[in-house]
């Protein structure tokens, strides 16, 4: 009888752990944004919109759903500042989930931070570098707390595996040139804050009809002017645990 009671208590405990949720007070959002330099001149008007859209929309939609929303932009949007801010959050015992929105220029397997262009594998190695026991412990904490990476950069899908190996539970990015953020960003943030799973939060824009509406004019302009715009493909590809929600505890994702 005692054995059955013990087993029952263990099952209840396991069920409780499996369905534990992370509270607003335990989650933070970091936004890294720099589009003023390094982009294609043909898309300069879009970049201007994106810079404003990113900051205003994030604050307006998500600020009440995170304990802190921190925006690092312009010349401060360096890999070093990205790493330092994430490690600061990771070292805070009150924080259990770190989400990131990245709005940078991108190329296949490369991201353009404010200071320099980084190969994403070199970025990952720099991000996880540790020269002491204390640093190794901090990196371990960080990898347990990193949760979603919403990468708005062009060719973001080529960056997904590196972000996953950095510790993010799930990462998403566009197949080629990303040109649909003006119709994707706000609906995605609204769906995310309302409890949609990460992949499902993109359902409004990541479908053939909406992708055709957003990408079609840019592709046609590219063919007409014979530029790289003809490779536009904003379709988001996902890597990792796509069912992550705003309440999901990343320490329980395996």
pLDDT in tens, 224-245: 666 767 789 999 999 999 999 9
pLDDT, one tens digit per residue, over 22-80 is: 999 999 999 999 987 655 666 666 676 777 778 889 999 999 999 999 999 989 999 99
pLDDT of res. 20:
75
Instruction: Provide CATH code, domain 24-244.
Output: 3.40.50.1460
**Dist. CA 111–CA 237, nearest whole Å:** 17
Asked if residue 161 has pLDDT above 90, the reply is: yes
pLDDT of res. 35:
86
Domain extents in the chain: 24-244
pLDDT of res. 10:
39
**Dist. CA 100–CA 102, nearest whole Å:** 6
Q: Is 17 helix (H, G, I), strand (E, B) or coil?
A: helix
pLDDT of res. 223:
62
Asked if residue 2 has pLDDT above 50, the reply is: no
CB 238 within 8 A of CB 170: yes
pLDDT of res. 216:
84
Question: Backbone dihedral region of 89: left (phi > 0), alpha (psi from -120 to 50 degrees) or beta?
Answer: alpha
Residues with Cβ within 8 Å of residue 248, at least 6 apart in sequence: 21, 22, 97, 147, 169
Q: How many CA atoms lie within 13 A of 5 on its CB side?
A: 2
DSSP 66-110: SSEEEEEEGGG--HHHHHHHHHHHHT-TT--EEEEEEEEEEETTE
CA-derived radius of gyration, the chain: 19
Asked if residue 201 has pLDDT above 50, the reply is: yes
pLDDT of res. 254:
61
Asked if residue 11 has pLDDT above 60, the reply is: no
**Dist. CA 142–CA 16, nearest whole Å:** 24
Q: Which residue has the higher pLDDT, 181 or 48?
A: 181
Q: Which residue has the higher pLDDT, 85 or 15?
A: 85
pLDDT, one tens digit per residue, over 125-158 is: 999 999 999 999 999 999 999 999 999 999 999 9
**Dist. CA 232–CA 211, nearest whole Å:** 10
pTM for this model (two decimals): 0.87
- Mean residue pLDDT of the chain comes to 88
């Amino acid at each position: 009888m005692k054995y059955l009671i013990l087993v029952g208590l263990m099952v209840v405990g396991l069920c409780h752990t499996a369905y534990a949720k992370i509270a607003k007070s335990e989650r933070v959002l970091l936004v890294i944004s720099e589009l003023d330099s390094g982009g294609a001149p043909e898309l300069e008007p879009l970049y201007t919109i994106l810079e404003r859209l990113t900051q205003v929309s994030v604050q307006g939609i998500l600020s009440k759903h995170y304990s802190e929303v921190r925006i690092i932009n312009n010349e401060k949007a360096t890999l070093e500042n990205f790493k330092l801010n994430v490690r600061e959050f990771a070292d805070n015992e009150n924080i259990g989930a770190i989400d990131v929105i990245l709005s940078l220029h991108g190329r296949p397997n490369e991201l353009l931070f404010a200071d320099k262009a980084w190969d994403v594998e070199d970025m990952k190695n720099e991000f996880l570098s540790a020269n002491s026991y204390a640093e190794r412990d901090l990196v371990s904490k960080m990898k347990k707390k990193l949760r979603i990476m919403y990468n708005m950069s062009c060719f973001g899908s080529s960056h997904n595996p590196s972000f996953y190996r950095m510790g993010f539970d799930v990462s998403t990015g566009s197949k080629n040139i990303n040109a649909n953020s003006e119709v994707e960003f706000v609906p995605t943030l609204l769906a995310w804050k309302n409890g949609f799973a990460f992949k499902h939060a993109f359902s409004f824009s990541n479908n053939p009809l909406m992708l055709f509406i957003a990408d079609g004019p840019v592709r046609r302009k590219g063919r007409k002017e014979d530029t790289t715009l003809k490779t536009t493909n904003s379709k988001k590809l996902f890597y990792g645990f796509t069912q992550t929600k705003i309440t999901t505890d990343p320490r329980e994702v395996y």
